[in-house]
């Protein structure tokens, strides 16, 4: 008699009714070993119950609902191709007209860009105007943020002292924030030590 009991995969071979070179010793062991025979009977009962279970089919839209929740990576070139394909008509004469219109628009935009690029005075004027606008927006935003954080009196004092006042105020603000952070950390540490 073999002194080891059957492994789960060996019991599965017997339940499935496999035949072959290694099955005969397993069958002989089951005839001699009560514990393995009980394991085999239990496995056969479970297999029979599983076979008797009703077969369920998923609902009609299950695959669509599952795939809607799966993030799918689309490479940029595929996304660009699909975006262009959505705008291209499927009817051949309309496709030719769309191609001609797109080519004409590209030619006009290229000519306009070349004309603007050759006119340095227009570029200088446009960039200066844009720079002035950006500076004005940044200055207004900075004044509003400083006024909201520190109050309008601090902004008036900073305007009178210039960049030095701005640097001193900024350094003071950073130091105050640092000391506040250190104080909060020490309070949190003290609270943890008490508990």
Is the separation of the CB atoms in 152 and 159 below 8 Å? no
The pTM of this model reads 0.31
Q: What is the DSSP letter of 142?
A: H
Q: Cα 22 to the chain's mean position, in Å? A: 51
Output the six-digit token pair for 107.
């030619």
Q: Identify the pLDDT of residue 1.
A: 46
Q: Identify the pLDDT of residue 107.
A: 92
Burial 136-150 (b: 16+ CB within 10 A, else e): eeeeeeeeeebeeee
Q: Cα 149 to the chain's mean position, in Å? A: 35
* Low-confidence spans in the chain with pLDDT less than 70: 1-3, 150, 154-155, 158, 166, 195
Q: Identify the pLDDT of residue 195.
A: 60
Domain boundaries along the sequence of the chain: 8-52, 74-120, 151-195
- Measured between its terminal Cα atoms, the distance across the chain in Å is 65
Q: Identify the pLDDT of residue 155.
A: 67
């Amino acid at each position: 008699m073999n002194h080891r009991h059957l492994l789960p995969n060996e019991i599965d071979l017997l339940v499935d009714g496999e035949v072959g070179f290694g099955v005969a010793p397993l069958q002989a062991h089951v005839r001699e070993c009560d514990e393995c025979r009980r394991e085999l009977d239990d496995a056969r009962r479970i297999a029979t119950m599983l076979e008797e279970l009703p077969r369920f089919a998923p609902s009609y839209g299950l695959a669509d609902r599952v795939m809607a929740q799966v993030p799918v990576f689309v490479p940029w070139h595929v996304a660009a191709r699909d975006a262009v394909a959505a705008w291209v008509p499927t009817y051949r004469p309309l496709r030719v007209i769309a191609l001609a219109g797109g080519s004409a628009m590209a030619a006009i935009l290229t000519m306009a860009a070349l004309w603007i690029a050759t006119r340095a005075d227009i570029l200088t004027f446009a960039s200066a105007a844009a720079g002035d606008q950006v500076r004005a927006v940044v200055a207004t935003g900075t004044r509003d943020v400083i006024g909201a954080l520190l109050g309008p009196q601090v902004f008036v004092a900073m305007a009178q002292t210039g960049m030095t006042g701005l640097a001193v105020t900024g350094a003071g603000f950073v130091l105050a924030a640092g000391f506040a952070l250190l104080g909060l950390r020490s309070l949190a540490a003290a609270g943890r030590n008490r508990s």
